[in-house]
Structure 1
Amino acid sequence: MWVDLKACADLIPAASALNNRFAQETSYLTDAAFVALVEGATLALAAPGGEAFLIAFDQDGDYDSPNFLWFRERFARFLYIDRVVVAAAAQGQGWGRRLYAELIETAKALGHDRIVAEINIQPPNPGSLAFHERLGFAAVGERALSLDKVVRYVALEV
């Protein structure tokens, strides 16, 4: 059902554009930076039509995100959700839940005991916060990244 973005260059431009439509929640990336992110990820999945994608790293990832590094300082093993994006027209159709179900199965298969992520609480992202709470993610910390950006760190034991 899922397409591996690492193996499907045809979907990269659409996924990169989708990422940038949600840059406030994810962060803007040039096409080259998006390709590098995908290539370095442990898992980079997309819906076949490109309406949703998920990018995750394990604890050994070569990634300098301050949020990823926060988790690395605290947990020995994990899968870190760097970004998950569902196109506005596809929201409410279960893409996020299905991506997370696949991520949970992958985490178990790789021997990970937790999945971690950060959620913006300033600027607020109440939809993401509610989604993660429904899936059983629990808060494990908070951090101000700048005067106008605060994140909540969450984890799901698998």
Structure 2
Amino acid sequence: MTVADLEGAGAALLALNNAHARELSWLTADRLAALVGEAFAARRVGLADALLIAFDQDAAYDSPNFLWFRDRYDRFVYVDRIVVAEAARGRGLARALYLDLFAAAKAAGHARVVCEVNADPPNPASDAFHAALGFVEVGTAAFEGGKAVRYFERAV
């Protein structure tokens, strides 16, 4: 997906993201377009059934979670956000997006895909999903305001 692909889907993808801002972070339309433009991979299913945005280590991205990985790994693909609309859940869309990302990362010569999962507030569904995909914990971080995350990686 490119910034041009947001035409016609941008408002729906923005609404999908922002409906899950507690887990993902709130975006403006301009910020979503900037993320997609910088992404190693940006994929959607349907108009806005599911969305995945991932960056490689060379991205100009200021997320403290992304920077945690960049401080530790020379090469990686970082999943910044993945979300599935409530009405589209249970159809394997997130798994399909991840499998596509694993293949793209491997084809580009990457050895790992990384991500974080909220520990506080907890996200047990995401914990179970990532464990089923073979992710293993490699670190933790706590942030101002009480938010905490666990960092994960999966070899590809």
- TM-score interval w.r.t. the shorter chain? over 0.9
**Where does residue 129 of structure 1 map in the other structure?**
127
Using the alignment, how far apart are the partners of 2:4 and 2:100 within structure 1? 17
Contact 1:51-1:87 within 8 A present in 2 as well: yes
**Given the two structures, how large is their TM-score scaled by the length of structure 2?**
0.96
**Where does residue 103 of structure 1 map in the other structure?**
101
**Where does residue 145 of structure 1 map in the other structure?**
143
Q: Which moved more, 1:119-128 or 1:31-40?
A: 31-40
Deviations 1:111-139 (A, max 9, x none): 00000000001001111111000000000
**Given the two structures, how large is their TM-score scaled by the length of structure 1?**
0.95
Using the alignment, how far apart are the partners of 1:19 and 1:50 within structure 2? 9
Q: Which moved more, 1:15-24 or 1:142-151?
A: 142-151
SS for the counterpart of 1:57 is: strand
**Where does residue 59 of structure 2 map in the other structure?**
61
Cα separation, partners in 2 of 1:12 and 1:5, compared to 1, 3 Å: farther
The share of aligned pairs that are identical, in percent, is 51
SS for the counterpart of 1:97 is: helix
Quote the offset at 1:32 in angstroms. Answer: 1.2
Quote the offset at 1:38 in angstroms. Answer: 1.1
Are 1:35 and 2:20 an aligned pair? no
Contact 1:53-1:84 within 8 A present in 2 as well: yes
Would you identify which runs of 4 or more consecutive aligned residues in structure 1 move more than 4 Å? Answer: none
Quote the offset at 1:34 in angstroms. Answer: 1.1
- Matches for 1:85-104 after TM superposition, within 5 Å: 85-104=83-102
Q: How many residue pairs were aligned?
A: 155
Quote the offset at 1:147 in angstroms. Answer: 3.5
Cα separation, partners in 2 of 1:5 and 1:40, compared to 1, 3 Å: same
Q: Structure 2 counterpart of 1:146, which letter?
A: E
Any gaps of 5 or more consecutive residues in structure 1?
none
Contact 2:3-2:36 within 8 A present in 1 as well: yes
Q: Structure 2 counterpart of 1:111, which letter?
A: G
Contact 1:78-1:115 within 8 A present in 2 as well: yes
Using the alignment, how far apart are the partners of 2:145 and 2:38 within structure 1? 30
Deviations 1:65-111 (A, max 9, x none): 00000000001110000000100111111000000010000001100
SS for the counterpart of 2:110 is: coil
Quote the offset at 1:7 in angstroms. Answer: 3.6
SS for the counterpart of 1:146 is: coil
